[in-house]
Amino acid sequence: MAPSPTGEYHVGHIATLLKNYAFAKQHGGQFVLRIEDTDQERKVEGAVEKILKVIKAYGLGWDEGPDIGGPYAPYTQSERLPLYKEKALELVKSGNAYFCFCSHERIAQIRDQLRAENIPPKYDRHCRYLSSEEVQAKLSAGESSVVRLAVPDNQPITFTDWMRGDITVNSDVVDDQVLLKSDGFPTYHLAVIVDDHLMKITHIMRGEEWISSTPKHVLLYRAFKWDAPIYAHMPVFLNPDGKGKMSKRRGTVAAQSFLDDGYLPEAMLNFFMILGWTPEDQREILTLDEYIQEFDPRKMSSKSVVFDLEKLRWLNGLYIRRLTTDELKKRLEPYIPDQFPRNKFAEILPLVMERLVVLKDFDSLTNFFYQTVRPDKELLLKKATPELLTEQLTATEMTLAAISSWHETELENAIRKLQEEKAWHKGQYFMMLRLAVTGKTATPPLFETMRVIGQETIMSRLQQARKLVTE
């Protein structure tokens, strides 16, 4: 996996990384992490550290990389600049690349002119046919230059994609791509080819947006007389509504943000496993070890798949309920508010576990246990008059004050007996009671909830609700 430190790590990056990781492990290979930081203008300070941290937070690691080294170190491209220059000059010497001295202004002018004519913008090869004497004179004079790929005319460029079969394009549609910039940094195209070859990368699984760049890479492999690796270009994720490529404009896509919201990393990985691929038996719950054993990139769908948030939420809830109480408490720790009554944690947790979808929900699911409650007056009056509500709340207070034990069984027996004796509408009365004591229309089982909240608080809330309906 070769992230660029230009911003937050995307969930699509983690999904791609997972597939590379699983394939490497399945075949007893090495999973390599390389930092591609040649785009110095877009580089974000501290991004490398964040990327390494979030990959580890998802429970994944690497066999070779910038922090642990390996036989082909360094694994950060900005530390390999002399190598790229050497290889670029090799291509110039063999006639597969050339020096270009055109200014940024001239390049921009050419591109604008071609766009105005509805022609795909390409370099016009102005410097390609300079004589060796002209080139040397310009270099000796210190003119700024780049190195460009000398793309051959009218040649078929074919490569095999594991998911799409053979793909062929004509070289006439390929630009004379810049390989080495004037600041000595390589472009992605040169650096990735040099590093993949020298680091003995055998398989590359990356996003389908790189399909259009692959012909350039094939030409570079040919120019160097190197064997190309095997490619698999995976489809992008679509937004949860199925419309368009998943992007920041339509909601969060940062891998860390999902963990911050309380999605479990193991649930996230399981979700990525089944997006566009399923095992032979079609099951949806997979451990990482099972995925490593069964994943086959050649059986992945080549069609874009929807990032189904509802499926992810379902999976996450399932994984939450598989945790032991101690493990769940540990995972919940960052999400428990300071004012939460920790002495009641063991009583409250079982009441909300079934409704806990992401860990961040813990606060909203439990805050009525200890915070001030003010029910919605309109909801209270929706199916009852102020007079009826006052009667119900007063009688409920008296009933609860008379019970001998504040236990859910006795609470339920007393309240149900009161409702039946008064012949109040069951749905209206119990919704009124739930609203009065919790402020919510949906809660854990009512009588267990009342027991945990406590008699003093419940009586106080009933009195407050009675005052509210008569205001």
String of DSSP letters for 31-82: -B--B----TTT--TTHHHHHHHHHHHTT---SBBTTTB-TT---BGGG-HH
Task: Count other Cβ atoms within 10 Å, centred on residue 53.
Answer: 11
Paired residues of 98 in beta bridges: 148
Instruction: Characterize the bridge pairing of strands 146-149 and 97-100.
Output: antiparallel
User: Any idea what DSSP says for residue 377?
Assistant: H
DSSP secondary structure, 334-352, as one string:
GGS-TTS-GGGHHHHHHHH
Q: Give CA–CA dist 111/123, Å, rounded.
A: 8
Q: Is the peptide bond before 74 cis (omega within 30 degrees of 0)?
A: yes
* CA-to-CA separations, 267 to 102, 272, 273, 322, 361, in angstroms, rounded: 52, 9, 10, 11, 16
Kindly tell me the burial class for residue 352, based on how many C-beta atoms sit within 10 Å of its own C-beta (0-12, 13-18, 19 or more).
Answer: middle
Q: How far apart are CA 236 and CA 306, in angstroms?
A: 9
Give all strands (DSSP E) within 217-267, no chain letters: 230-234, 237-238
Give the span between the Cα atoms of 355 and 235, in whole angstroms: 33
Contacts of 57 (CB under 8 A, 6+ apart): 256, 259, 265
Q: How many helices (H) and strands (E) does the chain have?
A: 20, 9
> Active-site residue among 248, 330, 382, 417?
248
Alpha carbon 33 to its chain's center? 18
End-to-end alpha-carbon separation of the chain, Å? 64
Q: Smallest Cα–Cα separation from 228: which of 176, 162, 278?
A: 162
CA distance 238 to 268: 16
Burial 87-99 (b: 16+ CB within 10 A, else e): bbeebbeeebbbb
Residue 248 annotated among the catalytic residues of the structure: yes
Tell me the C-alpha distance between 404 and 223, whole Å: 90
Please identify every residue annotated as catalytic. Answer: 248
